[in-house]
Amino acid sequence: MNNDEILKAIGDIDRSYVDEAKPRGKRRFVRAVSTAAAALILVAGLGIVLPKIIGNTPDDKADRTAYATPDTKGADGSQYGDAKNAPVDPPETFGGMKGTVPGFSISLVTLAEAASRHEFIAAVRINGKADADRYSPVDVTECFAGSLPESILVRFPIAGDVIMANEYNRTVADVVLERGGECIVFLDRMTDGTDRFFAAEIIWHESDGSARTLSIRDIEGSTYSAIITALPGVIRDNPYKAPIE
Amino acid sequence: MQDRDSEIIKLFFERSEDAVSRAGFKYGSYLKSIARRMLRDERDVEETVQDAFLAAWDSIPPNRPDDLGAYLGRLVRNAAIDRAKLNSRKKRGGGEAALVLDEIAELVPGGTEPEEALAGSDLAETINGFLKGLPQRKRRLFVQRYWYFMGEREIAEENLMAPAAVRMQLSRTRRELKAYLAKEGYVYE
């Protein structure tokens, strides 16, 4: 068997797989500019429900944002984060385009809530924007089990690390991908060098108004801008200095 | 108005040369777009598409494809692989196909061929089995790279991913396919 035999055999694969992967320029455009930007361009372009969109901007709800605090205890009893900063409001949903165009919205949850609602949580680091072109901007670096058994509990990445694509933690990511983690913990490196992190459920809204929570499998590898533009302004603008060891 | 596939196939069966010209009118651009992904030289693209039509002329009948577009697409794809390989030997630009051939070479052991190696159609069935077990997103990336011969950057844009993430996913999928083929008796680890 040689390589062109394999390639030719791939040419004979089931037609449904070929159709499934068919490049779709229009969908790509919609997805590429999805999130808030897409809502603004498409909906404002039609001149229909702009006020509604403006009313749904992240800043509008900034004061009520539920920061996820790293209040999850490790298996060894160590405590991540500061419980005093635990949010008092219920999770809020931001930036969604329900019933208009497809797009992301983010529902913030605490780590404790995430742990109780999801079997697996993946922690990801959002690298600096400058890294986005060179490295995988959203890398699954660690994962947490909802019940935090010792065998799976892992720690947050150490501050100062820059997780690059070629240092991708495949073992952990494979666990997350296999089991379909649904909630992710972002660790964001601020320009002043501090890190902050928060938990979020990523929800994908279809144009028919239906929505589903994206799994890590869906979100893995998404571009920095696709994720970060979906985040509420308060998350971007108000760093939470996480006590990362 | 374009011909229906059944009418074109009927012309092939009647050995009418209109079959090729009508198929060319309907599918020419599509076939060239496939060939262009794999070959850099426009002359190679033209010749590859002509090779595909010739292969269609030689194979219909007896074959009666359900989906003429897919059938011609497969022929032009295979013709382009052969041409890319030839170009590679001649040190001419092989386009994306040459890169893909290198990537696929990872799956192939040097030297010995497994005695259990099955016929090409069975290999396709085995690959179908592998693809069936993949998550949809991962499968799409694989097919876009190795069926459509899309470049990593193009795949990244299509799927809202970073090129590095695409490369990583494809690398992982190739490893999984290699293991799968080995399990099925195709490749020695």
* Residue A88 forms contact with B (CB below 8 Å): no
Of A150, A166, A163, A164, nearest in space to A195 by CA: A163
Peptide bond into B61 cis (omega under 30): yes
Please tell me the distance from the alpha carbon of residue B150 to that of residue B154, in angstroms, as a whole number: 6
> Which residue range is the domain that position A119 belongs to?
3-237
Kindly state whether residue A182 falls inside one of the protein's structural domains. Answer: yes
Biggest alpha carbon–alpha carbon distance for chain A: 63
Joined together, the tokens standing for residue B97 give: 């196909």
> What is the sign, positive or negative, of the torsion defined by CA atoms of A61, A226, A216, A97?
positive
Question: Which of B143, B176, B177 is best to mutate for the A interface (most A CBs within 10 A)?
Answer: B143
Residue-range domain boundaries for chain B: 5-94, 106-183
Of B123, B148, B161, the CB nearest to A221: B161
Residue A195 Ramachandran class (φ > 0 left, ψ -120 to 50 alpha, else beta): beta
Instruction: Name the nearest CA neighbour of A228 among A94, A89, A118.
Output: A94
Residues whose CB is less than 8 angstroms from the CB of residue B66 and which lie 6 or more positions away in sequence, other chains included:
none
CATH number, domain B106-183, options 3.30.70.3040, 3.40.50.920, 3.30.300.30, 1.10.10.10? 1.10.10.10
Contact list in B for residue A21 (CB cut-off 8 A) is 139-144, 147-148
Write the burial class of residue B90 (CB in 10 Å: 0-12 exposed, 13-18 middle, 19+ buried): exposed
ipTM: 0.72
Q: Mind listing the pLDDT tens digit of every residue in chain B (189 residues)? A: 456 788 889 889 988 888 888 888 888 888 888 888 778 778 888 888 888 888 898 888 888 888 888 888 888 888 888 887 777 666 555 566 667 777 777 666 543 343 333 445 678 888 899 999 888 888 989 998 888 888 888 888 777 777 777 888 888 888 888 888 888 877 644
Separation of alpha carbons A238 and A224, rounded Å: 18
Q: How many whole angstroms separate alpha carbon A58 and alpha carbon B141?
A: 33
* pLDDT tens-digit readout, B26-63: 888 888 888 887 787 788 888 888 888 888 988 888 88
The one-letter amino acid at A157: P
- Residue A161 resides in a domain: yes
pLDDT of the residue at A115 = 58
pLDDT tens for A131-183 read 333 333 344 444 443 332 222 222 223 222 322 222 233 444 444 444 444 55
Q: Do A23 and B158 touch (CB under 8 A)?
A: yes
Which CATH code fits B5-94? Answer: 1.10.1740.10
Residue A245 within a domain:
no
